A and B are shown apart, each in its own frame.
Chain A
Amino acid sequence: MHAAIQIDRVHVDYPVAGQTARSVLNGISLQIESGEFVAVVGETGCGKSTLLRLILGEEKPTRGRVLVNSFERSQPDRHCGYVPQKYSLFPDKTVLDNVTFGPEVSEFGAWSVLRRVYSKRMRGFREEALRYLRHTGLDESDARKYPHQLSGGMQQRVAIAQALMMKPPILLMDEAFSALDPGTRTGMQRLIKTLWRESGTTIVFVTHNTREAVCLGTRIIALAKDGDGNRGSSVALDLAVPHLDFDSDEGDIAGLIRTVESATVRERPLVYN
Chain B
Amino acid sequence: MSFLRIHAQPGRTAVWTLSWFLFAAGIVVYFYVAEQRHRENPDDRVMPTISQMVRGFSDAALKPAEEEETQTGGGSSIVARFRASMLWKDTLASGRRFVISVALLFPAVLLGLHMAMFPVIGAFFLRFILFFDKIVALSLLPILFIAFGIDELSKIMLIVIGVAPTIILDTFNLSKSVPREQVVKGFTLGASDFSITYRIVFKQIWPRVLNSIRLNLKAVMLFLFAGEMIASTDGLAYRIALLRRHMGMDIIIPYVLWVALLLFLVDFGMNKLNHKLHPWFEER
Residue of A nearest to B182 (CB): A87
Contact of B188 among A86, A92, A168 (CB under 8 A): A168
Are B195 and A90 touching (Cβ within 8 A)?
no
* Chain B residues closer than 8 Å to A162, beta-carbon distance: 189
Are A101 and B189 touching (Cβ within 8 A)?
yes
Are B283 and A88 touching (Cβ within 8 A)?
no
The CA of A56 and the CA of B189, in the complex, are separated in Å by 12
The CA of A92 and the CA of B204, in the complex, are separated in Å by 6
Give the 9 A-B residue pairs with the shortest CB-CB distance, closest first. A106-B190, A102-B189, A76-B187, A87-B179, A87-B181, A78-B190, A82-B188, A146-B280, A110-B195
* Chain B residues closer than 8 Å to A82, beta-carbon distance: 184-185, 188
Give chain A interface residues in 75-100, CB to chain B under 8 Å. 75-78, 80-82, 84, 86-88, 90-93
Instruction: List 7 additional A-B contacts (Cβ < 8 Å) besides A84-B185, A102-B191.
Output: A78-B189, A86-B179, A87-B181, A90-B200, A110-B198, A148-B280, A149-B283
Interface presence of B244 (CB below 8 A): no
Residue of B nearest to A81 (CB): B188
Residue of A nearest to B185 (CB): A82
Majority DSSP secondary structure for residues of B touching A: helix
Give chain B interface residues in 165-181, CB to chain A under 8 Å. 179, 181
B: residues with CB less than 8 A from A are: 179, 181-182, 184-192, 194-195, 197-200, 203-204, 278-281, 283-284
Are A58 and B184 touching (Cβ within 8 A)?
yes
The CA of A163 and the CA of B185, in the complex, are separated in Å by 9
For this complex, 8 residue pairs linking A to B, each with C-beta atoms less than 8 Å apart, are A77-B187, A80-B188, A91-B284, A92-B280, A105-B191, A105-B199, A110-B195, A166-B188
* Chain B residues closer than 8 Å to A58, beta-carbon distance: 184
Chain A: number of interface residues, binned into ranges: 20 to 34
Contact of A91 among B191, B192, B204 (CB under 8 A): B204
A: residues with CB less than 8 A from B are: 56, 58, 75-78, 80-82, 84, 86-88, 90-93, 101-103, 105-106, 109-110, 146, 148-149, 162-163, 166, 168
* Chain B residues closer than 8 Å to A75, beta-carbon distance: 187
The CA of A110 and the CA of B190, in the complex, are separated in Å by 11
* Chain A residues closer than 8 Å to B204, beta-carbon distance: 90-92
Residue of A nearest to B279 (CB): A146
* Chain B residues closer than 8 Å to A103, beta-carbon distance: 190
The CA of A35 and the CA of B197, in the complex, are separated in Å by 33
Most buried by A among B185, B280, B283: B185
